Amino acid sequence: MSVSFRTAFGPLAGRFGLLGAAAASWLVLRAAAHPAAVPALPPITTPQLMSQLTTAIQNLKSLRCAAEASERIGSKYIKDHSTMKLTFNPLRVYLKNGKGVEVLYVEGQNSGDAWVNPNAFPYVTLSLAPEGSLMRKGQHHTVLQAGFGTIADLLEGSAGRADKSFNRSFRYAGDTVVQGRPHYILRSDYPQFRYVAYKAGKNETPATVAAHFGCGEYRILERNKL
């Protein structure tokens, strides 16, 4: 099995807009306004592109967007769209999906749980653990992973990949136009991807194992039928 990862990003009024796609999911951020003309982007190298992208993500203070997702659940691709509002440090996340389900998470409040309005019977606001089975069902990512932190983690690498082979697989692959705006293309092809046997330690969880190896947590849950 090989993994292909492609990200496009460009300057938007002093910030960076991003379009990311991974093996089982992709995310499109809709820009609120389009410029009349598409200016040419300055030349850039792969290291410069990765550095600028990482810095832009780390400096992000807040984010408001409309998102469209297509995630592989089992053998099917499930599509959805949602509106999201986020602020960082402390993390605060509000999202509403296409079914009208609303989620609000505020770091340090509600005993670490998220408030969830299911928009269905019993029509009451629930308090659910963000990483619990109910909120993880049919989802590749948790509400705690909203935003672009996952992309930054991929670029940074992980302790479980000491050879940095995945990081070195990224390359600048030209320019494109997304939503009427110029973007760079950052691409990764990683045919070395494979599943390996691993015995988890006493205090390890699927999340910590995924962070150690720099892989998707959903792959671990799916592969081990958790």
Output the average pLDDT for the chain. 81
Determine contact, residues 180/127, Cβ cutoff 8 Å: no
> What is the per-residue DSSP string for 20-39?
EE-SS-EEEEPPS---SS-P
pTM of the predicted protein model: 0.70
Count CB neighbours of 93 within 10 A. 23
pLDDT at 49: 93
Token representation of residue 205: 């969880």
Longest dimension (CA), the chain: 58
pLDDT at 144 > cutoff 60: yes
**Cα 207 from Cα 132, distance rounded (Å):** 12
Token representation of residue 27: 């995310």
Rounded mean pLDDT, 76-80: 86
Going by their DSSP bridges, the two strands 76-87 and 92-97 should be labelled as: antiparallel
Determine contact, residues 84/70, Cβ cutoff 8 Å: no
**Cα 150 from Cα 146, distance rounded (Å):** 8
pLDDT digits (tens, 9 = 90+) for 17-52: 343 333 333 333 333 344 456 777 888 999 999 999
What sign has the CA pseudo-torsion 64, 66, 72, 78?
A: positive
